[in-house]
Amino acid sequence: MPEFVDRSPPGECIFCRIMRNELPAAHVHEDELTLAFMDIGQVTPGHVLVATKRHAATLLDLTQAEAAAVMQTAQRMASAQQTAFSPDGITLLQANGAAGGQTVAHFHVHVVARHTGDGVSFAWPRKEPGAEVIAGYAARLREALG
Ligand code: AMP
Ligand code: ZN
Protein backbone atom coordinates (compact mmCIF):
# COMPACT_ATOMS: atom_id res chain seq x y z
CA MET A 1 0.00 0.00 0.00
CA PRO A 2 1.24 3.56 -0.67
CA GLU A 3 2.51 5.54 2.28
CA PHE A 4 1.60 9.14 2.93
CA VAL A 5 4.22 11.12 1.02
CA ASP A 6 3.48 14.32 2.90
CA ARG A 7 3.94 14.04 6.66
CA SER A 8 4.02 17.78 7.32
CA PRO A 9 1.71 19.22 10.01
CA PRO A 10 -1.79 20.43 9.04
CA GLY A 11 -1.54 23.84 7.45
CA GLU A 12 1.93 23.11 6.11
CA CYS A 13 1.08 20.26 3.71
CA ILE A 14 1.70 20.51 -0.05
CA PHE A 15 -1.90 21.41 -0.84
CA CYS A 16 -2.17 23.97 1.97
CA ARG A 17 0.89 25.64 0.46
CA ILE A 18 -0.78 25.58 -2.98
CA MET A 19 -3.86 27.20 -1.40
CA ARG A 20 -1.67 30.04 -0.12
CA ASN A 21 0.15 30.37 -3.47
CA GLU A 22 3.40 29.42 -1.79
CA LEU A 23 3.79 26.57 -4.30
CA PRO A 24 2.99 26.89 -8.00
CA ALA A 25 -0.02 25.09 -9.43
CA ALA A 26 -2.12 25.49 -12.57
CA HIS A 27 -5.38 26.76 -11.11
CA VAL A 28 -8.62 26.02 -12.97
CA HIS A 29 -11.40 27.16 -10.64
CA GLU A 30 -11.76 28.64 -7.20
CA ASP A 31 -14.69 29.33 -4.90
CA GLU A 32 -15.19 29.93 -1.22
CA LEU A 33 -14.61 26.32 -0.13
CA THR A 34 -12.71 24.60 -2.96
CA LEU A 35 -9.80 24.99 -5.37
CA ALA A 36 -9.46 22.97 -8.57
CA PHE A 37 -5.93 22.67 -9.95
CA MET A 38 -4.06 20.41 -12.33
CA ASP A 39 -2.58 17.18 -10.96
CA ILE A 40 1.15 17.20 -11.62
CA GLY A 41 0.92 13.52 -12.68
CA GLN A 42 -1.67 13.97 -15.52
CA VAL A 43 -2.86 10.35 -15.71
CA THR A 44 -4.72 11.59 -18.79
CA PRO A 45 -4.73 15.11 -20.29
CA GLY A 46 -6.88 17.43 -18.19
CA HIS A 47 -6.51 15.46 -14.91
CA VAL A 48 -7.75 17.87 -12.22
CA LEU A 49 -7.76 17.74 -8.44
CA VAL A 50 -10.59 19.34 -6.48
CA ALA A 51 -9.35 20.07 -2.96
CA THR A 52 -10.87 21.76 0.05
CA LYS A 53 -9.34 25.15 0.79
CA ARG A 54 -9.28 24.28 4.48
CA HIS A 55 -6.92 21.52 5.53
CA ALA A 56 -9.03 18.43 6.15
CA ALA A 57 -7.20 15.12 5.89
CA THR A 58 -9.97 12.84 4.66
CA LEU A 59 -13.63 12.63 3.70
CA LEU A 60 -14.43 11.98 7.36
CA ASP A 61 -13.02 15.40 8.29
CA LEU A 62 -15.17 17.50 5.92
CA THR A 63 -18.11 19.62 6.90
CA GLN A 64 -21.34 18.87 5.02
CA ALA A 65 -20.96 22.20 3.21
CA GLU A 66 -17.44 21.27 2.08
CA ALA A 67 -18.59 17.82 0.94
CA ALA A 68 -21.36 19.40 -1.14
CA ALA A 69 -19.08 22.09 -2.56
CA VAL A 70 -16.42 19.56 -3.57
CA MET A 71 -18.91 17.48 -5.56
CA GLN A 72 -20.33 20.59 -7.23
CA THR A 73 -16.84 21.68 -8.27
CA ALA A 74 -16.01 18.14 -9.43
CA GLN A 75 -19.12 18.17 -11.64
CA ARG A 76 -18.07 21.51 -13.13
CA MET A 77 -14.58 20.13 -13.82
CA ALA A 78 -16.09 17.02 -15.45
CA SER A 79 -18.23 19.24 -17.65
CA ALA A 80 -15.20 21.35 -18.64
CA GLN A 81 -13.22 18.19 -19.44
CA GLN A 82 -16.06 16.94 -21.62
CA THR A 83 -15.99 20.19 -23.58
CA ALA A 84 -12.21 20.61 -23.74
CA PHE A 85 -10.98 17.02 -24.25
CA SER A 86 -14.03 15.08 -25.57
CA PRO A 87 -13.34 12.01 -23.43
CA ASP A 88 -15.25 8.72 -23.82
CA GLY A 89 -15.86 8.72 -20.06
CA ILE A 90 -14.86 10.41 -16.81
CA THR A 91 -13.71 8.78 -13.56
CA LEU A 92 -13.83 10.38 -10.10
CA LEU A 93 -11.39 8.92 -7.61
CA GLN A 94 -11.15 9.91 -3.95
CA ALA A 95 -8.71 8.12 -1.62
CA ASN A 96 -8.70 8.17 2.20
CA GLY A 97 -5.79 6.96 4.29
CA ALA A 98 -2.70 5.13 3.11
CA ALA A 99 -4.63 1.86 2.94
CA GLY A 100 -7.21 3.66 0.79
CA GLY A 101 -4.51 4.78 -1.64
CA GLN A 102 -4.16 8.38 -0.39
CA THR A 103 -0.68 9.85 -0.76
CA VAL A 104 -1.38 13.52 0.05
CA ALA A 105 -3.17 13.88 3.39
CA HIS A 106 -5.29 16.88 2.39
CA PHE A 107 -8.75 15.99 1.06
CA HIS A 108 -9.06 15.95 -2.72
CA VAL A 109 -11.02 14.32 -5.52
CA HIS A 110 -9.39 13.32 -8.80
CA VAL A 111 -11.38 14.13 -11.92
CA VAL A 112 -9.91 12.05 -14.74
CA ALA A 113 -11.00 12.23 -18.38
CA ARG A 114 -11.09 8.68 -19.76
CA HIS A 115 -10.48 7.41 -23.26
CA THR A 116 -11.01 3.92 -24.58
CA GLY A 117 -7.71 2.04 -24.24
CA ASP A 118 -6.09 4.70 -22.01
CA GLY A 119 -4.42 2.02 -19.87
CA VAL A 120 -5.97 3.13 -16.56
CA SER A 121 -7.05 0.09 -14.55
CA PHE A 122 -8.38 -0.69 -11.08
CA ALA A 123 -8.12 -3.94 -9.15
CA TRP A 124 -11.72 -4.51 -7.98
CA PRO A 125 -11.92 -7.93 -6.35
CA ARG A 126 -15.63 -8.84 -6.28
CA LYS A 127 -16.66 -11.28 -3.57
CA GLU A 128 -20.40 -11.87 -4.14
CA PRO A 129 -20.94 -13.32 -0.63
CA GLY A 130 -24.69 -13.83 -1.09
CA ALA A 131 -27.87 -12.01 -0.04
CA GLU A 132 -27.78 -13.09 3.62
CA VAL A 133 -24.26 -11.80 4.25
CA ILE A 134 -24.98 -8.61 2.32
CA ALA A 135 -28.12 -8.01 4.40
CA GLY A 136 -25.98 -8.40 7.54
CA TYR A 137 -23.55 -5.76 6.28
CA ALA A 138 -26.46 -3.41 5.51
CA ALA A 139 -27.82 -3.92 9.04
CA ARG A 140 -24.45 -2.97 10.53
CA LEU A 141 -24.41 0.22 8.50
CA ARG A 142 -28.01 1.13 9.43
CA GLU A 143 -27.13 0.64 13.09
CA ALA A 144 -24.01 2.81 12.65
CA LEU A 145 -26.17 5.56 11.15
CA GLY A 146 -28.18 5.60 14.38
P1 AMP B 1 -3.71 10.73 -3.88
O2 AMP B 1 -2.74 9.61 -4.14
O3 AMP B 1 -5.13 10.40 -4.18
O4 AMP B 1 -3.51 11.28 -2.48
O5 AMP B 1 -3.33 11.87 -4.92
C6 AMP B 1 -2.33 12.81 -4.71
C7 AMP B 1 -2.08 13.47 -6.03
O8 AMP B 1 -1.43 14.71 -5.81
C9 AMP B 1 -1.19 12.67 -7.00
O10 AMP B 1 -1.94 12.32 -8.15
C11 AMP B 1 -0.04 13.62 -7.32
O12 AMP B 1 0.33 13.59 -8.67
C13 AMP B 1 -0.63 14.97 -6.93
N14 AMP B 1 0.32 15.98 -6.54
C15 AMP B 1 1.29 15.86 -5.59
N16 AMP B 1 1.97 17.02 -5.48
C17 AMP B 1 1.41 17.89 -6.35
C18 AMP B 1 1.66 19.25 -6.70
N19 AMP B 1 2.64 19.95 -6.11
N20 AMP B 1 0.88 19.82 -7.64
C21 AMP B 1 -0.11 19.11 -8.23
N22 AMP B 1 -0.40 17.83 -7.95
C23 AMP B 1 0.35 17.22 -7.03
ZN1 ZN C 1 -3.33 20.78 3.89
Identify the pLDDT of residue 36.
99
Q: How far is CA 76 from CA 28, 36, 72, 82, 112, in A?
A: 10, 10, 6, 10, 13
Q: Is 108 a catalytic residue?
A: yes
| Overall domain count for the chain | 1
How many CA atoms are closer than 13 Å to the CA of 116, on its beta-carbon side? 1
Query: Nearest Cα to 31, choosing from 48, 39, 19?
Result: 19
Nearest CA to ligand 1 atom 15: 40
Quote the domain boundaries for residue 27.
Answer: 14-119
Residue 135 within a domain: no
CA of 64 to the centre of ligand 2 (A): 18
Residue 139 within a domain: no
Residue 94 within a domain: yes
By the CB criterion, residues less than 5 angstroms from ion ligand 2 are 13, 15-16, 55, 106
Higher pLDDT, 26 or 9: 26
CA 142 to chain centre: 25
Question: Taking 60 as the threshold, does the pLDDT of residue 4 lie above it?
Answer: no
Residue 56 within a domain: yes
**pLDDT band, very low/low/confident/very high, at 1 (cuts 50, 70, 90):** very low
